[in-house]
Amino acid sequence: MEYQIINAFTDKPFSGNPAGVCLPKTWPSMDTMQKIATENNLSETAFVVKKENGLYGLRWFTPTLEIDLCGHATLASAYALFNDREKDAQELKFDTASGILTVTREDEYLCLNFPSALAAECPIYTSIRKSLGIEPIAVFKSIDFLVLLENEAALRRITPNFDVLMKLKAEAGLDHDKFGVIVTAPGEECDFVSRYFAPHVGVPEDPVTGRAHCTLTPFWSMRLGKKIMDARQLSARGGTLRCEDLGERVKISGKAVPYLKGNIEL
């Protein structure tokens, strides 16, 4: 099986978010895909299969489970296809658990068209406060939790207690593990900054998270009164995104750098 690792949302090696991209001719079994993702031990491994209607089927797996939406592995999958199999294409369409997702080429950028995810204010859960060791301004909930902090310096200082954060599922009364915690603040050199923690899906801190910006984009668009914004994710690897609020959709753009090409032997 052809396999690549692409660093997404960066223009430099050894930064951004590395995604595994598997390009089988037909779908492997669910068990095989999960075992490959576990073996890869990246935040997400994507599986891409071309369909008869010209679309590409796309599925995403963390080291522990399949998820419904992933930005950086979609960008990485598009990068692999644009550079190897679809060199003349300007747009790719992916059939996914979150509907049809498109990726277009605009100069050096790959642009994701994703569903918007509005966040509503919710309680400041004890597990969030204690795990982050800081008092948030407010907490919101969409597909993920969003924690608002006063400034970038506070965001950089956080060292989460993941054992405590794992109690959030029960405290919030959730019946699934497919969520994370976005922590965000105004940026010093960009519009906003964030970090993303998802221990429930086997990803303690994700380097750069496209899906989080489905929530961050409308959130900061309303607060800043801007439709187009520059964002950074402040993980150890770091990443840069350009976000545009399109109403019911968001446009999330970034660059990518290839790291590895090979084959998985099964």
Q: What is the pLDDT of residues 210-260, one digit of tens each?
A: 999 999 999 999 999 999 999 999 999 999 999 999 999 999 999 999 999
> What's the rounded Cα separation, in Å, for the pair 140 and 119?
6
Is residue 257 a contact partner of residue 7, using CB atoms and an 8 Å limit? Answer: yes
> What's the rounded Cα separation, in Å, for the pair 37 and 45?
5
- Establish whether domains 2-112+254-263 and 120-245 are of one fold: yes
The active-site residue, picked from 44, 86, 108, 135, is 44
User: 180: which DSSP letter?
Assistant: -
Calculate what percentage of the chain has a pLDDT beyond 70.
100
> What's the rounded Cα separation, in Å, for the pair 97 and 83?
25
Calculate what percentage of the chain has a pLDDT beyond 90.
98
> What's the rounded Cα separation, in Å, for the pair 112 and 67?
17
Is residue 250 a contact partner of residue 148, using CB atoms and an 8 Å limit? Answer: no
Residue with tokens 């840069």: 240
Q: Please indicate, yes or no, whether the overall pTM of this predicted structure exceeds 0.85.
A: yes
pLDDT digits (tens, 9 = 90+) for 126-147: 999 999 999 999 999 999 999 9
Domain ranges for the chain, please list them: 2-112+254-263, 120-245
Question: CA 241 from chain center: how many Å?
Answer: 11
Residue 55 in 3-state DSSP?
coil
pLDDT band at 107, cuts 50/70/90? Answer: very high
Q: Which CATH architecture has domain 2-112+254-263?
A: Roll (3.10)
Q: Which helix (H) or strand (E) holds 78?
A: helix 72-84
Residue from 178, 171, 167 nearest 144 by CA: 178
What pLDDT shows up at residue 206? Answer: 98
What pLDDT shows up at residue 80? Answer: 98
What pLDDT shows up at residue 254? Answer: 98
Alpha helices, H only, 141-249: 152-157, 162-165, 168-172, 212-224
**For range 163-186, the mean pLDDT:** 98
Q: Is 244 a catalytic residue?
A: no
Is residue 165 a contact partner of residue 199, using CB atoms and an 8 Å limit? Answer: yes
pLDDT digits (tens, 9 = 90+) for 113-129: 999 999 999 999 999 99
Residue 100, strand partner residues:
95
Does the pLDDT value for residue 5 go beyond 90?
yes
Question: What CATH class has 120-245?
Answer: alpha beta
> What's the rounded Cα separation, in Å, for the pair 217 and 244?
7
Question: CA 29 from chain center: how many Å?
Answer: 24
pLDDT band at 54, cuts 50/70/90? Answer: confident
Residue with tokens 């914004």: 229
Which two tokens mark 143? 């597909």
